[in-house]
Structure 1
Amino acid sequence: MGLFDGMSISGSGLTANRTWLDVIANNIANANTTRTPAGGPYRAEEVVFSPGSASFSSALGNATGSTLQGVQVSGIVSDPAPFKLVYDPSSPDAVNGYVQMPNVNIGTEMMNMISATRAYEANVTAFNAAKTMDTQSISIGK
């Protein structure tokens, strides 16, 4: 394990969590969007995480039994949940009086936002702890 591995792993978590928070914010902002450029209502998005990309040093670490990796966003996918139908015959998007509304669940998005915020805070704490340990280990060598 290298001197800056802990900070690198926490940094990858910070980047992934920032992307997750951006997607959540986009979902909440479009919770009432009934017409998109692609046509139809807005479809909620979800973030897919995967282990961080393997470099030569991490592959070497895996060969020696160490499995230290970060995390990365491997994709952002559309939520396959069905759209909600709301009766509003006055809407220009109404078909037979019903409007297809986005499949964004505000309660779920708020729970995801709390989870993403807590994960971000945990990565900041781990990053700061790794930074402190690295600083102390460098000062021991002096």
Structure 2
Amino acid sequence: MGDAFEMLRIANTGLGAHQTWLDSLGGNIANVNTVRSTSQSAFQASFVVFAPRADGGVDVAGVAHSSAQGRLVSMPDSPLADANGYVRAPDIDMASEMSQLIMAQRGYQSSVQVTKTAQDTYNSALSIGEGR
């Protein structure tokens, strides 16, 4: 029975970590086309940093951010463009974000499956005790 609780606890840390990762990626993807004037900082993408726990789980150790410099993009028709026609865009690689999104989704789904398996194990153990 202790193993089922252990699986639930570890899977729960995985669920929380993957949810944080998914939220971060969602914000990055939603802001991939956010532009600002060159006098402002670019949108800074978030990168979740994970740390292993001594008990087998995982914690979110922090969140790192991309450079506020971003990249300069020529958009002369934008009302935010400077005298040379440039705006500041985030330095986000959409292909990388989408790849990470797939990994985060699969990790989340794996944690959900472990949770379901642990619950089934726990319920089976309870039903054995009821059969007396």
Q: TM-score band, normalised by the shorter chain?
A: 0.7 to 0.9
For the residue of structure 2 that corresponds to 1:22, the secondary structure is helix
State the match for 2:85 in structure 1: 97
Matched, 1:72 2:59: yes
State the match for 1:123 in structure 2: 111
For the residue of structure 1 that corresponds to 2:73, the secondary structure is strand
- Identity among equivalent positions (%) equals 38
For the residue of structure 2 that corresponds to 1:33, the secondary structure is coil
Alpha-carbon distance change, 135 to 82 in structure 1, aligned in 2, over 3 angstroms: same
For the residue of structure 2 that corresponds to 1:4, the secondary structure is helix
Q: Is the 8 A contact 2:43 2:90 kept in 1?
A: yes
Alpha-carbon distance change, 125 to 95 in structure 1, aligned in 2, over 3 angstroms: farther
Residue segments in structure 2 that go unaligned for 5+ positions in a row: none
State the match for 2:72 in structure 1: 85
In structure 1, how many angstroms separate the alpha carbons of the residues matched to 2:97 and 2:50? 17
Q: Is the 8 A contact 2:17 2:60 kept in 1?
A: yes
Alpha-carbon distance change, 9 to 99 in structure 1, aligned in 2, over 3 angstroms: same
Q: What is the CA RMSD across the aligned residues, in angstroms? A: 2.3
**Cα displacement (A) at 1:81:** 8.9
For the residue of structure 1 that corresponds to 2:121, the secondary structure is helix
Residue segments in structure 1 that go unaligned for 5+ positions in a row: 53-66
Q: Which is worse superposed, 90-99 or 42-51?
A: 90-99
In structure 2, how many angstroms separate the alpha carbons of the residues matched to 1:12 and 1:133? 19
For the residue of structure 2 that corresponds to 1:113, the secondary structure is helix
Q: Is the 8 A contact 2:41 2:69 kept in 1?
A: no
Q: Which residue identity lines up with residue 49 of structure 1 in the other structure?
A: F
Q: Is the 8 A contact 2:73 2:89 kept in 1?
A: yes
Q: Which is worse superposed, 27-36 or 111-120?
A: 27-36
For the residue of structure 1 that corresponds to 2:61, the secondary structure is strand
For the residue of structure 1 that corresponds to 2:105, the secondary structure is helix
State the match for 1:49 in structure 2: 50
Q: Which residue identity lines up with residue 94 of structure 1 in the other structure?
A: D
In structure 2, how many angstroms separate the alpha carbons of the residues matched to 1:28 and 1:88? 20
State the match for 1:62 in structure 2: none
Alpha-carbon distance change, 82 to 41 in structure 1, aligned in 2, over 3 angstroms: closer
For the residue of structure 1 that corresponds to 2:112, the secondary structure is helix
